[in-house]
Amino acid sequence: MSERGALVGGLITVAALVLGASAIAGKFVAQEQQITELHQQMESMAATAAEREAELRHEIVVLTDQKDALELDVAMLKEENTALMEELSYLHYILDDPMALFSEELIELTPEDERLLMGIAMNEAGNQGVIGKALVILTVLNRCERTGASVRDIIYAPNQYYTVGMGGYDEECEIALLMVCAGWDGSQGSRFFCSAGGYNAYGEPKFRYRDHWFSA
């Protein structure tokens, strides 16, 4: 082969090598671009996953709060159900044979005692109906019978009855007092009552009527 042919062949070989190197470099550039795009996609996916994780954690907190609230509601409903069953039991007691709760012995009171008893019934059981008012009156009279103290002494004993502003009374108070004086006694001997959602620490628990828990 002549020198000219050898030179041409060499140039062709070099050109082929250059073209091959360029092709390889192009492939590397394309791969690097693909890797960059994959990295961007992974970062985007990671950010989305982080946002979703935060959303799920928030949802878990909300659901946990809702669960706690529902459990509290269930507990309160159970307490209310127990209280309602107690009241229902007492209603059966006073309605099963109403006349059986009237004794033949009438109660005689002074005008002052009547005024005081109706006043304390209004103060302590203003929204408890006739029966609720009568029961409050009976707690006073039961204490009088047990201790021999006067109506005034019992009502105004320290930390016993709510006497602030006492004086007025309504028709229900008058009916309640008439019932009691006629011999009605559904108190089961109760001398104490509590409106704080349960029986107090004094006496033996007896029954619940509306918002009051009575103890003997």
Mean local confidence (pLDDT), 28-44: 80
User: Does 184 score more than 70 pLDDT?
Assistant: yes
pLDDT category of residue 191 using cuts at 50, 70 and 90: very high
Asked if residue 15 has pLDDT above 90, the reply is: no
Taking residues 61-84, what's their average pLDDT? Answer: 68
* Each residue's pLDDT tens digit, 73-128: 666 656 666 666 777 788 788 888 888 888 888 899 999 999 999 999 999 999 99
pLDDT for position 8:
65
| The predicted structure's pLDDT at residue 115 | 96
Report the percentage of the chain scoring pLDDT > 70: 87
**Every domain of the chain and the residues it spans:** 1-96, 98-215
| pTM of this prediction exceeds 0.75 | no
3-state SS of the chain?
CCHHHHHHHHHHHHHHHHHHHHHHHHHHHHHHHHHHHHHHHHHHHHHHHHHHHHHHHHHHHHHHHHHHHHHHHHHHHHHHHHHHHHHHHHHHHHHHCHHHHECCCCCCCCHHHHHHHHHHHHHHHCCCHHHHHHHHHHHHHHHHHHHCCCHHHHHCCCCCCCCCCECECCHHHHHHHHHHHCCECCCCCCCEEECCCCCCCCCCEEEEECCEEEEC
